[in-house]
Structure 1
Amino acid sequence: MTKSTENIEKKIEAQLEKLKQLKAQKQAIEARERTKKKEQERKDDTRRKILLGSYLIKKMNANEANKEKILAELNEYLTEDRDRQLFNLSPINDIQEKKYDTFEKEFKSFEEADSFSKRFLNNMNVFTSIKEINGLWTLKIAVEEFSDHYIELADIFYNPSYEELHTDDEDDQWEPDFDSDRKVTDVGLNGYPSGYDTSLTNRY
């Protein structure tokens, strides 16, 4: 190998080594960028959860019905006792010992199911869900066995006449409007209107 060829070989080796170092630097930069991106995503996710939690806590404090509904959802969602303690929920073992029945009722539209839920379930302290199944909207609740409202809820869901009877009850609450402009007839003690000529009523 000539001196000239040897010098060229050394230059090639030097360039290859430099290229190797540049590739390593590039990989290191890309790794840092990926780590930085993941860290930012983690921070964004944490902030998102904090903001959502703050919103839900504010919503719970503003309305008792919202609070009970959110706690009912957390009761189903949280499976670690240390997490459940943060919301004063019963230990998971106590929950698992309880038995629940699922009540379902089908409706032709979401609006119909939602209206039924608001009319009859708002004061029952139960978590409701409405889902579309096979073209019908199904209103569903989970009811603890032997709970205070178990029988009443069963009647609401499975008595075909319940809604009709309840509507009749609402109609029975109608009261006459005594402040209207309609003419009121003054009836005397004899059962006839005031000023009525009774001279002919006892002819026979």
Structure 2
Amino acid sequence: MASFEEKIAAAEKRAQEAAKQVKQLKAKRDMVEARKLQSLLKGQRSDDTRRKILVGALVLDMMERDESTRQRFMDRLDKYLTRADDRALFQLPIPEEK
């Protein structure tokens, strides 16, 4: 028959193993949740990119069809775009650096 100390030691060992298993399961759960969140964010980014492409296509079409619309958008782009490479896409003058 096992002594109380042996029973306590065995119970403590089982408790440590259970705590280790709980820790592993929590880590696995956190990884699964992180993957789900990453997938959701990727989908949101994809949707955002698609919206921008579609709106951009519409705006470009509007600019091609109507000169006054084109000029209004070009005026807005001239004020909005600051990076030289972005401005070059629309053949806008590149301001000199200060």
Name the structure where helix makes up a greater proportion of residues. 2
Matched, 1:75 2:78: yes
Cα deviation 1:23-50 (Å, max 9, x = unaligned): 1111111221222222222211111111
SS at match of 1:10: helix
Aligned to 2:62: 59
Mark the runs of 5 or more structure 2 residues left unpaired by the alignment.
none
Report the equivalent of 1:5.
8
Q: Which amino acid aligns with 2:29?
A: K
CA displacement, residues 123-162 of structure 1 (integer Å, 9 cap, x when unaligned): xxxxxxxxxxxxxxxxxxxxxxxxxxxxxxxxxxxxxxxx
The structure that has the greater radius of gyration is 1
Alignment partners' CA distance in 2, 1:2 and 1:81: 77
Rounded to whole Å, the distance in 1 between the matches of 2:93 and 2:20 is 65
TM-score (normalizing by structure 1): 0.44
Aligned to 2:31: 28
Larger RCO: 1 or 2 (CA < 8 Å, sep 6+) = 1
3-state SS in 1 of match to 2:93: coil
* TM-score for the superposition, normalised by structure 2: 0.86
Q: How many residues align?
A: 95
Aligned counterpart, 1:93: 96
Is contact 1:59–1:67 with CA below 8 Å preserved after alignment?
yes
Summarize deviations over 1:62-107 as a string: whole Å, max 9, x none: 111111111111011000111111111111229x9xxxxxxxxxxx
Percent identity over paired residues: 33
